[in-house]
Amino acid sequence: MEVTFIGGGVMGEVILSAVLAEGLASPQAVLVSDISEPRRQYLEQKYNVAVTGDNRQAVSRGEVVVLAIKPQNLAEAMAELNGRLKSAQLVLSIVAGASIGTLSSGLNHKRVVRAMPNTPAQIGEGMAVWTATAEVTEQQREWAGSILSAMGREIYVDDEKYIDMATAISGSGPAYVFLFVEALTEAARHIGLPQDMAQELVSQTLLGSTHFLCQSGKQPSELRRMVTSPGGTTAEALAQFEKGQFAELVKRAVEAAYNKAQRLVK
């Protein structure tokens, strides 16, 4: 597979690293275009790939063109690339807030995949939700799936509306987890635990609990009941969560993120 990257920022590099690590493409089959010369030099030296500062030149090659630029740069990039893509090329976009319609129209191109990865992709534990235009071939869907799964897990959806929903869950979700870690760590310090011990207890508890959930085959509600003895310490803590309407607060937060995602999509 020949892969061209338009944008060599953090997520672009994450995809590049995963593609090379999984053997989906060789360094000789990769070209990265980025406006920053220091960034180009860094990527060339670290990954031994070809680099350029010219987006138009970049898309003259590549079976897959990964669009990994910042949303504020999308209009300019689409104007540069409009009419220059070969009809058989696949465009894989991870540009936040850019709909399939916007991408297809702005690029004047029909074979487009829109994906929503998240930050844990940086350590190979990502979650990506994606969709594709009808013109994308079966082989190209396999390419897209293999690229996204190289960073963790991926889910294909037929309806683009689910990507906005996923943005509110898996896209923004890591921030919710980090916020809970912060709050639980601060609570641990509040009752007297040292900072380093509190951080380790919280981090490992979340990590172990998540792995247990994934491997147990049980529903989270069932596991919660298993841990909660009547009249015990866990029951006392959960009663406070219920008193503060924790579940309802999470629901409102996700709904707010989803509504915002819908407003941002262009």
**Residue 192 and residue 147 share a domain:** no
Global pTM reads 0.90
d(CA 5, CA 66): 5
> Would you state the pLDDT for residue 265?
80
Is the CA virtual torsion 220, 225, 226, 229 positive or negative? positive
Radius of gyration of the chain (CA): 22
- Where do the DSSP E strands lie in 157-255? none
pLDDT tens digits for range 105-133: 999 999 999 999 999 999 999 999 999 99
Angle between helical axes of 195-216 and 220-227 (0-180°, round to 10): 130
> Would you state the pLDDT for residue 141?
97
- Residue 109 falls within a domain, yes or no? yes
pLDDT tens digits for range 204-220: 999 999 999 999 999 99
- Residue 166 falls within a domain, yes or no? no
> Looking at residue 217, which CATH number applies to its domain?
1.10.3730.10
What would the mean pLDDT of 235-256 be, rounded to a whole number? 96
All residues at 6 or more sequence positions from 80 whose CB lies less than 8 Å from its CB, including other chains: 55, 56
From the list 39, 108, 29, 48, the residue with the least C-alpha distance to 70 is 39
| Banded model confidence at residue 262, pLDDT cuts 50, 70, 90 | confident
pLDDT tens digits for range 5-64: 999 899 999 999 999 999 999 999 999 999 999 999 999 999 999 999 999 999 999 999
Residue range of the domain that includes 209:
173-264
**Residue 119 and residue 36 share a domain:** yes
Number of domains comprising the chain: 2
pLDDT tens digits for range 63-92: 999 999 999 999 999 999 999 999 999 999
Is the confidence at residue 264, as pLDDT, over 90?
Answer: no
pLDDT tens digits for range 152-195: 999 999 999 999 999 999 999 999 999 999 999 999 999 999 99
> Looking at residue 37, which CATH number applies to its domain?
3.40.50.720
* Residue with token string 């963790």: 152
